[in-house]
Amino acid sequence: MRYFYHIELLRFLSASAVLITHYKHFFFPYLSLSNLNIHPYGPDPDGLLLPFYNLLEFFYRKGHYGVDFFWMISGFVLAFTYLNNKNIKTSFKIFFLNRFARLYPLHFITLFIVLILQMLILKISGSYQIIDNYMYKGQIDLENFLLHFFFISGWFLEKGMTFNFPIWSVSIELIIYFIFFLSLKYIYKYQMLLTSILVFIFVFLDKSNIDIFFLECGRFFFIGVLTYFLFEITKKNFLLILLSILLIVLGAVGNLKLDLFFSGIILLAAFCDSKLKIKSKNVYSLLGNLTYGSYLLHIPVQLILMILILKFNFDFEIFNKNYFFAIYLISIYFLSYLSFKYFENPVRKYIRNKYSV
């Protein structure tokens, strides 16, 4: 079975983009006690506060695009996994058991970790931090806890961002998984035609300002599926690299058009996997395995670092330092490695083996 190692690298980069843009949580208004003020919509325009700003400016400003990119990558990967003779007849039970085993256990653990950390930081600082401001207005209460517990927090974004709030994007994707599964056999039969129709429907509804919470996710996910079909059509000749470059250029010229740009990047990565010899397969696979863990663990890591800074009265200037930024990322990636090796992967295998029969 073909394996897309460069796609794994893209998954890692999409999560890392979110980690970088969320570094601003160490500044006011996210950390309410801080005397270092970051503009929430355009952080650090003078490059005076955020570490490595000249190098990482795009990620600080636009790192939230990593969520859209991840949705598109998910569409590409699930299309590759299930749109074939072997897996097209996968049952509803097996399909969602695989998703549950991969996604829910770490979400469950980090939900309770964040709850405990928020209680600690409330005691130290008098507020919940990160979420207790005009940007993230959600409350630490039973209602929001239950929304997180049942994996539907992203379905009610009007209640604000609470607990381990990045999980909102994953909870929304569950709806798209359901739509994908229901249409799986039809997509397999009609391929680009039906996928194009689904993309058109999601794009039309999204651009029409119709307020349905999963539209953006559906749009990017099924563009990812469409990108997979483009790969299958062009993979045996040099058209693949030409198409990928064309999409990247068209997406980058003028206003950034994420649909085209991300499709081109994915096709370029797939081209590298199909045409180039890969010497760092283990490294790429490792980075891909860190993706989900780093996405869910970076808020707990931020809260732990905030608690330590507040508890021991460190100067908030420490958040400006390049070495602290390095500590932040290294801590997340190290914990993500431990999480995948000793928790995520063993639990996933256990659930699949026990309940897939």
> What is the pLDDT, as a whole number, of residue 69?
96
Q: Is 119 exposed, middle or buried (0-12, 13-18, 19+ CB in 10 A)?
A: exposed
- Per-residue pLDDT for 45 more than 60? no
Q: Region 46-70: what's the mean pLDDT? A: 87
Q: How far apart are the first and last CA of the chain?
A: 23
Residue 81 burial by Cβ neighbours in a 10 Å radius (0-12, 13-18, 19+) = middle
pLDDT at 1 over 50: no
Query: Looking at residues 16-35, what average pLDDT do you find?
Result: 91
Give the relative orientation of helices 258-275 and 239-252 as an angle to the nearest 10 degrees. 150
Q: What is the mean pLDDT of residues 192-214?
A: 90
- Long-range contacts (CB closer than 8 Å, 24 or more residues apart) made by 114-117: 114/163, 114/164, 114/299, 114/300, 114/303, 115/140, 115/145, 115/163, 117/300, 117/303, 117/304, 117/307
Three-state SS at 267: helix
CB count in 10 Å sphere of residue 141: 10
Query: Chain-wide mean pLDDT for the chain?
Result: 90
pLDDT tier at 284, thresholds 50, 70, 90: confident
Confidence of residue 307 (pLDDT cuts 50, 70, 90): very high
Q: What pLDDT is recorded for position 276? A: 63
